Amino acid sequence: MSTVETDIQQAVEDAAAHLYVWALKDIPQDLRDALADASERETSVPGQRVLQTILKNVQVAERENNLVCQDTGIAVYYCKVGEHFPLHPARIYQALYDGTMRATLDHPLRSNTVHTLTRENTGPNVGYRVPIVHWDFVPDWDGLDVKCVPKGSGSENMSFLKMCVPADGVKGIKQFVLESIVGAGGKPCPPGIVGVGIGGSADYALHLAKEAIARPVGTRNEDPLVAQLEEELTGLLNETGIGPMGLGGDVTVLMCHIEHADTHMTLNPVAVNYQCWAARRATAHIDADGSTDFDREA
Amino acid sequence: MAEHRLTFPASEEDIRKLRAGDLVTVDGHIVGIRDRTQIRIFDQGHEPPMDLAGAFLLHTAPNVRKRDDGGYDPLCIGTTTSARMVRFTEPLGRDYGVRAICGKGGLPDEAIEPMRAHGMVYFAIVGGAAALETTQIEEIEAVYWEELMPECLWLFRVKDFGPLWVGIDSHGNSLFHDVNEEANKRLEKILAGL
């Protein structure tokens, strides 16, 4: 490997180490606004108290330079790699792996990663196929965007897939999302973001649902039909009365986000991935020379 | 809805006074416990190395820093989802005299009867509010089973711990059951209108 490549790999590693800790401590403004708005709207007494406690917690985290939530999650990264970015994705992966490990050991952060059968902790929040990295490739560009989404398990455990059939239609999609969220109750730390993936294949629908939770709160799908479904489901989900932390109330979800893909004529997959209220994400824009801008709002 | 302040370990009499929906603040000693800790006790037959009579169990696995003297400083301590661990409710009350289980998201209805029979409550905390929770933990006084890190058995001394809601009381009432029942009624109406 050339010196230039080494420097850029180091820049990506540094970015990952910073992003992981930063995401855990400093939640984005759109989320802060959505939580404040939820606190205004909520009318149930326990629901109001829950939301006030959440807002206070965000302030305490800032004051004490502490993590918002103790669950340091499983490290998930979304990479957009420019065609001309001078570091191969194999090396980018290694940099993300090393950065995650370094952040965990230096801070130190709780390590959550275990062998899936023995349940033995692997130590520094990395392991076999962890961190989890999703890739997009962008033609005619020499940059790299890395978004870190530490995903807590309380909400990740509330993930659901149903292979609806075409005859179930859009109604089947709505029904499955509503049933999933009522079934999840207080477990995923509501009010959060309901990520929905529709179309594609079984695995891709789940992938899209996860992509949906990583969007800034309240952004809308570019397809007006899908955006309309996001609006409708957000409204219906908030009629269920589950409320903040499942203690009953008006605000069950901050927002429903949907990502979609075209699908097979006989498929109608729908996947739900829940994101708790502590919807942590942080992004780095890295140039071809390794210079890095950090962006909390992307 | 009444408000209470309780010190743990607590007596059955203290616990029987609480009703689902009440708001509680806790002082004294609480015990951190999680999936693997309870699997070790109940599935692998290891006796817990501390007395759990009257105990308040917190579903947690903290972020900590080990000191040179072998002790631990709290960095960020929060609370995990309780429902995964519901099957341990009965033996915790029956065999060890645990008085309170605290976590987030509630326990399913199968916890109602053991809590009534053994004089226990479930406390619901605000999940994710760990930065705040950490300021309520004065000290990590003891750690057992360090090889399970971070799913060890932790003894914390706390002050003004809360707010906590009585999610399940020792009289057969569950706030989570009631919210869930109401939500399912509403869901039925919503689905009928689709």
Instruction: Specify the residue for token string 């696995």.
Output: B61
Q: What is the DSSP-derived secondary structure letter of residue B174?
A: B
In a 13 Å sphere around the CA of A118, the CA atoms on its Cβ side amount to: 7
Condensed to tens digits (0 to 9), the pLDDT of residues B21-59 reads 999 999 999 999 999 999 999 999 999 999 999 999 999
* A186 CB within 8 Å of a chain B CB: yes
For residue B30, the cross-strand partners are B156
Q: What is the pLDDT of residue B155?
A: 98
Q: What is the pLDDT of residue A2?
A: 61
Token pair recorded at residue A115: 């062998």
Given a cut of 80, whether residue A288 has pLDDT beyond it is yes
Residues of B in contact with A278 (CB under 8 A): 128
pTM: 0.96
Query: What is the span of the domain harbouring residue B188?
Result: 3-192
Given a cut of 80, whether residue B75 has pLDDT beyond it is yes
Length reported for chain A: 298
d(CA A124, CA A120): 12
Contact criterion met (CB below 8 Å) for A173 and A228:
no
The enclosing domain of B86 has a CATH number of 3.20.130.10
Q: What is the pLDDT of residue A222?
A: 98
Q: What is the pLDDT of residue B138?
A: 98
Q: What is the pLDDT of residue A6?
A: 72
Secondary structure of residue B78 in the 3-state scheme: coil
Given a cut of 60, whether residue A1 has pLDDT beyond it is no
Given a cut of 90, whether residue A113 has pLDDT beyond it is yes
Q: What is the pLDDT of residue A25?
A: 97
Band (A296; pLDDT cuts 50, 70, 90) = confident
- For A192, list phi and psi in degrees, rounded to 5: -130, -155
In a 13 Å sphere around the CA of B88, the CA atoms on its Cβ side amount to: 23
Band (B115; pLDDT cuts 50, 70, 90) = very high
Residues of A in contact with B75 (CB under 8 A): 66-67, 107-108
Report the number of distinct structural domains present in chain B.
1
Token pair recorded at residue A114: 């275990």
Q: What is the pLDDT of residue A297?
A: 86
Length reported for chain B: 194
Residues of A in contact with B128 (CB under 8 A): 54, 57, 68-69, 71, 152, 189, 276-278
Q: What is the pLDDT of residue A8?
A: 96
Given a cut of 60, whether residue B64 has pLDDT beyond it is yes
In a 13 Å sphere around the CA of B86, the CA atoms on its Cβ side amount to: 15
Contact between A239 and B106 using a beta-carbon 8 Å cutoff: no
ipTM of the complex: 0.96
Instruction: Give me the mean pLDDT over the B160-188 stretch.
Output: 98
Contact between A247 and B124 using a beta-carbon 8 Å cutoff: yes
Condensed to tens digits (0 to 9), the pLDDT of residues A24-47 reads 999 999 999 999 999 999 999 999
Contact between B130 and A68 using a beta-carbon 8 Å cutoff: yes
